[in-house]
Amino acid sequence: MADDVRAVGRRMYEAFNARDMAATETIFSVDFVSHALGTTGAESVRKAWTGLHTMFPDVRVVVEDMLVEGDRAAVRTVLHGIPADAGEKRPPTMLEIFRVRDGRIAELWGVSTLKRPGR
């Protein structure tokens, strides 16, 4: 089970970095829930990814740590390709936890240090 959870997590980040929006259909369950964004479905993932790619054309996610327990993974990533804010010395990081069901991500929780424009 742990290898399956790890594999789907890797596929998610690889698809994001490759801008492979079609892959979301096989990575996320039909009833996927993003607790972080308050959205559902693979379409909501494509919309979020497209927005981030549009805002930061060079963005890529690098997995630093992935801890797997049963059907869940906790992942710490660094977002590269995002211009640093004044005074920032490190690129933004994210911590995501996701749950896998039947080989697909069914739920995701997350927090990020990425500052959104205008905030």
Whether residue 119 lies inside any domain: the answer is no
Whether residue 117 lies inside any domain: the answer is no
CATH number for the domain spanning 100: value is 3.10.450.50
Q: What is the pLDDT of residue 57?
A: 95
Q: What is the pLDDT of residue 101?
A: 97
Specify the pairing of strand 39-40 against strand 60-69.
unpaired
- Pairwise CA distance, residues 18 & 40, whole Å: 22
Alpha helices in the chain (DSSP H): 2-18, 24-27, 42-55
Amino acid in position 83:
P
Give residue 44's domain range: 2-112
**Predicted confidence pLDDT, tens digits, the chain (119 residues):** 788 999 999 999 999 999 999 999 999 999 999 999 999 999 999 999 999 999 999 999 999 999 999 999 999 999 999 987 645 678 999 999 999 999 999 999 999 998 765 44
Question: Would you state the torsion angle of the CA atoms of residues 13, 19, 22, 27, taken in this order, to the nearest 10 degrees?
Answer: 10
Whether residue 118 lies inside any domain: the answer is no
Whether residue 44 lies inside any domain: the answer is yes
The total domain count for the chain is: 1
Q: What is the pLDDT of residue 13?
A: 98
Whether residue 90 lies inside any domain: the answer is yes
